[in-house]
Structures are given as C-alpha cells and as structure tokens.
Amino acid sequence: MTRLRIGIIGASGYSGIELTRILAQHPHVELALLTSDRWQGLTAAAKLGLSGPAASLEYQSPPTPALLTRADGSNRHWSTCDVIFLATSVEVSLALIPSLVEEIATVIDLSGAFRFPTAELFARAYGQPHSAPALLPTAVYGLPELDRKGLRGARLVANPGCYATAGALALAPLVSDDLCLPDSLVIDAASGVTGAGRKGTEELSFAEVDGDFRAYRVLRHQHTPEIAQTLSRLSPAVRSSGQSLRPSFTAHLLPLRRGILATAHARLRPSIGEEAVRAAFVHNYADEPFVRLLPTPDDVGLKQVLGSNRCHLSFAVDHDEAIVVASLDNLVKGAAGQAVQNLNAVMGWPETTGLDELRGFYP
C-alpha cells in the first residue's frame, strides 16, 4: 500500500509534537511536511529524537495565507500532501483552511474553528466573527465514540476540544439513554497546563502555576457550548422537546503538564438505579477500544492514561445522584491521538491503527 503523505502545520506546539511522534510510527502514512515558526531548518531527529524515515525531515516555515491563495507560488510545500493536520490557533486555522480544503484531500483541524455548525454559535463561543461560514456545514465533528458515521471520507474534520471530549464521554451514556434530568448536569474538570498551548506568559510561568490550583474562564469557557451541543445531539429528551441541554461546566488549571480529569454530576430520573446506569455505560462503550470502564470512580486517575489514547471512566450512584469521573491525556485522546483516530476513521482503517502501540508513561 502506498503510504499517505501527511503534513502537520504547527508541528512545534505541544499537540503538534505529539502528532509528529504518533504519525512517525503510523504504518500507513509518511510524514511529508512539518511546519514551525521556531524550528525552521532543524530536523525532527534533532528536536524530537525521532529515528526512522521522519528523522531527517526539516521543519519548514508555516504557509501564509498569501502563499495559499497562489499570490506567491514559490514555496507550495504543502501541495503534495494527501492529508494536512492543523495544530494551530483558531485564527491561523481560519486563515489557512479555506485555501487548503481546495487542494488537499483531507484537512483535520485541531483548533476550535470548525466545531460549530453556524457562524452564530461560533461567535458566541469564541467572541469573534467566523470568516469562512460557508465551510461550517461541511465540517464533520470527530468524536468517533459518540458519532463516527460522517467521518468516512470526510474532507474537513473538526477535532474536538480536550475538555469537550472528557465531558461528553462522561455524560453521553446517561444522556443518550435518557436516564437523567436534562437540567441537572454539572461538570467540573481540571487540566494540565499544556491544554493552554505553548507560550511564555507570567500567568503560565512555573513560579505562578506550581503550588496553585484555580478555576478559569468561569461561566464563559468556550468548551461549554461545545459540550452542550454534543450532548444535545444525543439526547432523546432534547429531540422530543426541542430544547437544548445546558450543562454547567467549569475548567480548572492543574499544576501538571498533562492530563484532564472531569467529574460530572447528574440527577437520575425517578426509579433509575445503579443497574440502569451500568447498563448504559456497558452498551455504549463495550466495543470502544479506547474507552475503559473501571470498577469505581476512585480508580480513575491521570497516570494510567498519560501517553495513551485511552479514556478511563467510572461512576457511582446514591439514590438519584450519579457521579461520573473520566480521565484522558489532553494531548492524546484530547488532541493528537484523537486526530489520528479521526484520520483512521476517514480512511476506513481500524481506528486503533498506530495508536494501540502507545505505551503510556507511568509512573
């Protein structure tokens, strides 16, 4: 089989690095392009210690919108790629994707630029207008465990947010099986700092973050409407009532490099007990290779998922009170790993291709 030629734009950010490492060992692809605003001319071997064919690949300067719109034909390094991943900010993704989708068979965007179906919803979540609203209906939201049917052959995939993946996976069984009161959903989640990307600000300096723990963007986090949308799509109650779900979501910053833990709360409908909840988790996730249901919520931690594409979860029930705890690595299942899982789904390969071998990192 000819290997698919892959480009990564934003390859020196933390998600871009993880993506590079995973794809460098993926059996069906070949890394053809890495762009970076800081490592131009250096090799993947030098910066990441890669061996094998990707080792000698040199980082290129990132494509500019002018380059992409052919105003300048001098360095169209991306044009031979079959698939391009963007591990970039919303702003960069918005600037590049309209041109890229015209030339490249599949574009997988890790930013939040194409996660909502309308420009209005995007604007409400991100506080800025959307510059390519026509593309929005063409994008497929890629959280395979909850809906993989549109992914096969997709041209533009919106990779979910890290919190949105954890929060939605935690509550999806209760919501899709209609076991809980729609207005009772509360999610408190905490993430390591790499969720904020790679940057040098005093706020994210070691001296400030170490020893601290705090909530941020309280009641105005952009992942709140993303979780609401994902869960609403699954909810029979929403389908019958036309209302949407409004989970209360709060993000917290952990003094850690990696990992997300989400603690989700719901009030169960009358007479729904632990067995119904267990049945919902089992039938929703039994065949999912990356979701693992653990015996109790106390068993769910970050260390066992770090460096893997897994999501660990478990639940507890007391009367009408249900608590679900879910964990994942924000750079893998919350970003790069899920993006590769989406590539696999687009191509019709087993979703675990190139991901099952991730060995984790413990302790």
Report, as residue numbers or ranges, the catalytic residues.
162
Minimal distance in Å, beta carbon 198 to a copy of itself? 7
Minimal distance in Å, beta carbon 262 to a copy of itself? 10
Q: Segment near a copy of itself (CB under 8 A), from 115-123, 140-148, 251-259, 335-343?
A: 251-259
On the question of a cis peptide bond just before residue 65, with omega within 30 degrees of 0, the verdict is no
- Residue 203 binds a copy of itself, judged by CB under 8 A: yes
CB 35 within 8 A of CB 60: yes
Distance between terminal CA atoms of the chain?
A: 38
**Structure token digits, residue 93:** 């993704």
CB 153 within 8 A of CB 313: no
- Residue 14 binds a copy of itself, judged by CB under 8 A: yes
Q: Name which position in 257, 273, 283, 350 contacts a copy of itself (CB under 8 A).
A: 257
Instruction: Report the candidate in 188, 168, 174, 176 with the shortest Cα–Cα distance to residue 268.
Output: 174
- Residue 43 binds a copy of itself, judged by CB under 8 A: no
Q: Report the alpha-carbon distance of residue 23 to residue 85 in Å, rounded.
A: 11
**Structure token digits, residue 153:** 């052959």
- Residue 287 binds a copy of itself, judged by CB under 8 A: no
Q: Name which position in 317, 335, 336, 339 contacts a copy of itself (CB under 8 A).
A: 317
Backbone angles phi, psi at 245, to 5 degrees: -80, 150
3-class SS of residue 32: strand
Helix (H) or strand (E) holding 191: strand 186-191
Considering beta carbons, is residue 155 or 246 the nearer one to a copy of itself? 246
Q: Name which position in 4, 17, 68, 328 contacts a copy of itself (CB under 8 A).
A: 17
- Residue 218 binds a copy of itself, judged by CB under 8 A: yes
Considering beta carbons, is residue 5 or 292 the nearer one to a copy of itself? 292
Q: Name which position in 261, 272, 340, 347 contacts a copy of itself (CB under 8 A).
A: 261
Segment 54 to 93, residues that bind a copy of itself, using CB under 8 A: none
